[in-house]
Chain A
Amino acid sequence: MATKMAQYKGSAQYIVSDELRNSVNIAIALGKPLLIKGEPGTGKTMLAQSIAEALDKQLIIWNIKSTTKAQEGLYVYDTVQRLYDSQFQDHDVSNIKQYIKHGKLGEAFRSHDQVVLLIDEIDKADLEFPNDLLWELDQMSYYIPETKETITARTRPIVIITSNAEKELPDAFLRRCIFHYIAFPEPDEMERIIRVHHPNLDKRLLEQAMETFYMLRNLNNIQKKPSTSELIDWLQALVVGGISPSKIKQDMPFLGVLLKKNEDLDLLLNGLQAKTQNRSKPRSSMWGR
């Protein structure tokens, strides 16, 4: 089994760090779910798509909301449909099997080929949600009491779970996962990521924009730091707006794309003002420009 394991090497659309690639391959080899945490916009969700693409497997996405229950991922017994059918008497109601609707997890288990299952933003759900899935993720099987059936995965799916750390996940659940934290990319890594999205970007523009971006991220007291996806949007805006590279650092156009909170914008503007006031001489030249 260990000899012919699919190895994930990253894909053209997604730049993956060595650490992350390692973690993915460990998770695949051990058949355990991979739990991905990280700042918003570091490409947690994209990872699953990239794995599916690179290994040529089907991707099943289970989006978790605050109301999602673990049971829904396995199957739902559609009792209401059965009631309707019994009233019109055009179906054989005694066959309960037709009223069992499999959820995303069930779909992944029942698939003939190995699939990639993405459980997106697991921390959105109720506190007990991960605990309810312990057995199913461990054994990759579940039992349906209504039909006295056990669904077992033919091939263990590659399970990717993402979390934004809105809730602490229970220890018992964590013990069953491989964990990886996506650190925020360093400038050179960031450049490679941007090149994927904007291959023909002017070098000067990129340089200036990156410098401004990391300056903003390093500001103290900022509440919501701009992330990768915001930088990509900002670059798009700069290109479309035809801003010349020399003006980026001075004017910081389209700042609203990067900073989403009023407090942060105020903080930045105040900081800049204080700076220009300290340097009393260039102040007049600034207006004279």
Chain B
Amino acid sequence: MFTEFYYYLKNFGVPVSFNEWQDLMEALDQGMAGSSLTGFYYLCRALLVKTEAHYDRFDLAFASYFQDIEAVEGLPEKIWEWLNREVPPLEVTEAMRRNHQQLDIEEMKRMLAERLAEQTEQHHGGNRWVGTGGTSPFGHSGYHPGGIRIGGDTRSLSAVKVAGMRRFQEFRTDETLGVRQFQLALRKLRQFTTRLDGAREELDLEGTIDQTCQNAGRLELKWARPRVNSMKVMLLMDAGGSMWPYTRLCNQLFTAVHKSSHFKDLKVFYFHNCIYDWLYNDPSCSQRDYTDTEYILRTCDSNYRVIIVGDASMGYAELMRPGGIIDWDLDNDRAGIEWLRRLRQHFEYSVWLNPIPARYWDRMEGAFTIGAIRTVFPMEELTVEGLERSIRKLKSRSRAGEESKLVY
């Protein structure tokens, strides 16, 4: 029963396990869904979804799957997929805006319903039909949670409507969140190594009491090794002008890193767009106060976890050519990319955090340099989820640029 739905959920990124699925079947046997779709929706959600961060994915999957009951097979899934892709409001073009002004919501609803109805008739041509015909007006309406409309038109499917409202969108962890969340993510960056070596110099009080009592009063002292975090972190932040829109976000990360007192050592340096022969000691990038990159490479051992924060978008020459540096009174003998490669070679545990959302990486002005840097450093977007992923990468050696290949 509903086995397909199980795979649907998996496809939408809801981690469902077989045990939970069996629980659901048991609950259904007990008649706990109350033989209504709404009941079934809540039952499924309570049993299968274990964090509010996945509520939104679940809603999408549910709406998508049960939409099929009334519509042509396969079609709504494509529409949903398509509506999702259009979520960023930035992509509204002039033409789309004009269209949007012409049609009010009611009219669009009606049109979409009509279009859906028409597609019921022409089974196979439907795909192309919505793809082209639907583009401008519905592209924008996809930005409003599109499901209300699609689900709302059908009279009885209230659960689909609930799911379609996507009330839990804001809980998605790929959204940017506050300092505290960053801090929590950073807490995972720890390594208690001294369990393995070093002197046993801390009195293990509980162990001592326990052992003494076991001996019926004959004192026996127990010693343990102190647990210290051996994680050393280096933060390199882009302080260039193109980072301005992300100041708040970067500040949050910066505050979080600083508040995380559990690192053995924390070094912070700044750079302007790209890293060359020197790194600045303060965010104003004053040319009097800097440290040689060479010196850092020599003195900091490769155990440092290096987090680079920057938009990675710059001019071609800035990254690829000697002398391409953006500051007009400075010069560099080696191309920026070479310095980045050297850094990466030395610091095997390193990631690049980009405040630009990952979905724009291929389409921005800086797409080329982003792509080039991604061949050197593993790149993640600067969100809580991205930070968590990068921390996983920082804990073990990760291959550079495994996500993208660049042809020179």
State the A residues within 8 Å of B (CB). Answer: 2, 18-19, 22-23, 25-27, 29-30, 32, 35, 37, 79-80, 82-83, 86-87, 166-167, 171, 174-175, 177-181, 183, 223
Contacts and interface: CB of A to CB of B under 8 A. Distances in A.
Given A83-B212, A183-B167, A30 B23 contact: yes
A26 B47 contact: yes
A35 B51 CA distance: 10
B52 A37 contact: yes
Q: Considering residues A37, A80, A83, which has the most beta carbons from chain B within 10 angstroms of its beta carbon?
A: A83
A29 B32 contact: yes
A166 B184 contact: yes
B19 A178 contact: no
A174 B51 contact: yes
Given A83-B213, A83-B216, A23 B50 contact: no
Contact of B42 (A19, A32, A177): A19
A80 B212 CA distance: 9
B3 interface: no
B106 to A, nearest CB: 24
A9 B216 CA distance: 54
A180 B217 CA distance: 50
Given A37-B52, A79-B214, A175 B42 contact: no
Contacts of A29: 27, 30, 32
Given A22-B39, A83-B216, A175-B19, 19 more contacts: A18-B42, A23-B42, A23-B46, A26-B32, A27-B46, A29-B27, A30-B26, A79-B214, A80-B209, A171-B15, A171-B50, A174-B50, A177-B50, A179-B46, A179-B51, A180-B46, A181-B51, A181-B55, A181-B168
A27 B52 CA distance: 18
A167 B187 CA distance: 10
Of B31, B50, B210, B212, most A-chain CB atoms within 10 Å: B50
Nearest to A223: B178
13 contacts: A18-B42, A26-B46, A29-B30, A30-B27, A79-B214, A171-B50, A174-B50, A174-B51, A175-B50, A177-B50, A179-B50, A181-B55, A223-B178
Given A2-B30, A29-B32, A22 B43 contact: yes
Q: Is the interface of A mostly helix, strand, loop or mixed?
A: helix
B365 to A, nearest CB: 27
Interface residues of B, number: 32
A174 B48 CA distance: 10
A7 to B, nearest CB: 11
A167 B50 contact: no
B217 to A, nearest CB: 6
Contacts of B39: 22
A61 to B, nearest CB: 23
B217 A87 contact: yes
A167 B46 contact: no
Contacts of A167: 184
B285 interface: no
A144 to B, nearest CB: 16
Contacts of A179: 46, 49-51
Interface string B211-236: 01110110000000000000000000
B20 interface: yes
A83 B50 CA distance: 46
Contacts of B49: 179
A30 B32 CA distance: 10
Contacts of B15: 171
Contacts of B52: 37, 181
Interface in B28-62: 30-32, 39, 42-43, 46-47, 49-52, 55
Contacts of B217: 83, 86-87
Given A26-B32, A167-B184, A175 B213 contact: no
B286 interface: no
Contacts of B47: 26, 178
A183 B169 CA distance: 12
B17 interface: yes
Contacts of A32: 23
Interface string B175-210: 000100000100000000000000000000000011
A23 B42 CA distance: 7
A128 to B, nearest CB: 13
Contacts of B210: 79
Q: Nearest 4 pairs between A and B by C-beta?
A: A79-B213, A174-B50, A181-B52, A23-B46
B116 to A, nearest CB: 29
A166 B55 CA distance: 19
B20 A26 contact: no
Nearest to B55: A181
Contacts of B55: 181
A22 B26 contact: no
Nearest to B185: A168
B52 to A, nearest CB: 4
A29 to B, nearest CB: 6
